[in-house]
Amino acid sequence: TGEDLELELRLFDKKGDAKWHLGRAIAIRDEDNVITSWVSSVTEIQKLKEEEERKEGFLKLVSHELKTPVTSIKGYVQLLLSLLEREQEREKDNIPIKPYLNRIETQVERLIRLISEMLDLARIEQNEMELRKERFDLNKHVEDIVEDITYTNKEVEIDLNHLCECEVVADKDRIGQVIINFITNALKYSPEGNKVDVTVYQDGDEKVSVSVKDYGIGIEKKEIKKIFNRFYRVSSKSEGTYSGFGIGLYLSNEIIQRHNGKIFVDSELGEGSEFTFTIPLNLN
Ligand code: ADP
């Protein structure tokens, strides 16, 4: 037909692995509009394709995750409304409003967390994440966070070690977000136990580290680099077991990089993982 051609196709490489390619061809014509030749190109787009698939999966997951708490909130609100109606009829019924309101609150918090993560993602993508730096006591901050987490999850056992006392100049909320992400992941990916070790220590003269160690499912060596990618989640038969969107570590990494710091992971499949971030002691 002489029309421009554009198609996505899978080609096999020497090893026999299929890789997505984008094939394009454009006809070159002479003065009489007769095709004399074709210019064509074939470009490997495997990485883009994988990213696209992850994005689609992410959207599916988000819609699903948004729907669950909203449905549950709706259910509890309807229940409370019908109980209140009955109360008006029979004045003295003892209505269990508090536990239902607590459940609604938990679900609303889940929604807020999800929405905030998505907003952060958009901010990073548009390079709009600003840091609000202040001087604060990192040990105290870690302590407060651990206290908050143990207050809401009574069954967890977080062992906190201070090997140094340090002040930093950093964005307190953002650093807190990274610590919370490390600890909640450590708990989430430890289905058999609830023990987590958190250590604050000095790294040379100029740096301070916070590490979070768990004794959970661990991560395969080949996956370690990838878990910092947007929307990346280690896929396995248990993928559906752990809820999440695969953006927490991506955000954490971006935050730490913006503080001129680094994240390290040490992990053994089936044994557990240790996530560490290091930031300069005196950022100005
Ligand atoms: P998610 O919301 O999926 O937990 P994250 O970005 O926080 O997203 O983590 C990305 C992936 O890294 C997780 O889906 C999980 O497969 C893996 N991961 C993160 N932390 C741990 C950990 N402590 N132990 C085992 N796997 C982990």
Q: Is 20 near ligand 1, meaning CB less than 6 Å away?
A: no
Q: Which of 69-78, 131-140, 177-186 has the lowest mean pLDDT?
A: 69-78
Separation CA 93–CA 102 (nearest Å): 20
The finding on whether 75 has its CB within 6 A of some atom of ligand 1 is no
Tens of pLDDT, residues 39-66: 999 999 999 999 888 888 888 888 877 8
pTM above 0.85, yes or no: no
pLDDT of residue 78: 87
- Quote the ligand 1 centre to 181 CA distance (angstroms): 9
Q: Is 183 in the pocket of ligand 1 (CB under 6 A)?
A: no
Three-state SS for the chain is CCCCEEEEEEEECCCCCEEEEEEEEEEEECCCCCEEEEEEEEEECHHHHHHHHHHHHHHHHHHHHHHHHHHHHHHHHHHHHHHHHHHHHCCCCCCCHHHHHHHHHHHHHHHHHHHHHHHHHHHHHCCCCCCCEEEEEHHHHHHHHHHHHHHHCCCCEEEEEECCCCEEEEEHHHHHHHHHHHHHHHHHCCCCCCEEEEEEEEECCCEEEEEEEECCCCCCHHHCCHHHCCCCCCCCCCHHHCCCCCCHHHHHHHHHHHCCCEEEEEEECCCEEEEEEEEECCCC
pLDDT at residue 207 greater than cutoff 90 = yes
Give the pLDDT band of residue 84 (cuts 50, 70, 90): confident
Distance from Cα 79 to the centre of ligand 1, integer Å: 36
- Other residues' Cβ atoms within 10 Å of the Cβ of residue 94: 6
Check if the beta carbon of residue 21 is closer than 8 Å to that of residue 10: yes
Question: How far, in Å, is the centroid of ligand 1 from the Cα of 138?
Answer: 24
For residue 92, what pLDDT is reported?
Answer: 55
Best mutation site among 233, 239, 277 for ligand 1 pocket (most ligand atoms within 8 Å of CB): 233
121 lines ligand 1 (CB under 6 A): no
- Is the pLDDT confidence value at 152 over 70? yes
| Any ligand 1 atom below 6 A from CB of 178 | no
- Angle between helix 138-152 and 172-188 (nearest 10): 40
Lowest mean pLDDT across 96-100, 158-162, 179-183 = 96-100
pLDDT tens digit string along 223-266? 999 999 988 888 765 556 777 788 899 999 999 999 999 999 99
Residue from 110, 117, 189 whose mutation best tests the ligand 1 pocket (most atoms within 8 A of CB): 189
Confirm or reject: Cβ of 182 under 6 Å from ligand 1.
no
Q: Is the pLDDT of residue 140 over 90?
A: yes
User: What would the two tokens of residue 146 be?
Assistant: 């651990």
CA 227 to centroid of ligand 1, rounded, Å: 7
CA-closest residue to ligand 1 atom 21: 185
**Cα-based torsion angle of the residue sequence 116, 119, 121, 126 in order, rounded to the nearest 10 degrees:** -150
Task: Quote the pLDDT of residue 90.
Answer: 65
Per DSSP bridges, beta strands 167-171 and 207-214 are: unpaired
Distance 65 CA to ligand 1 centre (A): 17
Give percent above pLDDT 70 in the chain. 95
Predicted pLDDT of residue 119: 84
- Select from 126, 136, 123, 193 the least CA-distant residue to 159: 193
pLDDT at 29 over 90: yes
**Do residues 252 and 177 make contact, with C-beta atoms less than 8 angstroms apart?**
yes
What's the pLDDT at 284? 47
- CA proximity to 61, closest of 243, 199, 192: 243
- Choice between 214 and 116, residue whose per-residue pLDDT is larger: 214
CB of 245 sitting under 6 A from ligand 1: yes
Q: What percent of the chain has pLDDT over 90?
A: 58
249 lines ligand 1 (CB under 6 A): yes
Residue 64's φ and ψ, nearest 5 degrees, are -65, -45
> Rounded to the nearest whole angstrom, what is the distance from the C-alpha of residue 125 to the centroid of ligand 1?
21
- Answer whether 186 contacts ligand 1 (Cβ < 6 A): yes
Interior CA angle at 53 toward 180 and 190, to 5°?
30
Distance CA 279, CA 284 (A): 12
pLDDT at 93: 59
Please tell me if the CB atom of residue 176 comes closer than 6 angstroms to any atom of ligand 1: no
Ligand 1 binding pocket includes 234 (Cβ within 6 Å): yes
Residue-averaged pLDDT of the chain: 89
How far apart are the C-alpha atoms of 83 and 80, rounded to whole Å? 5
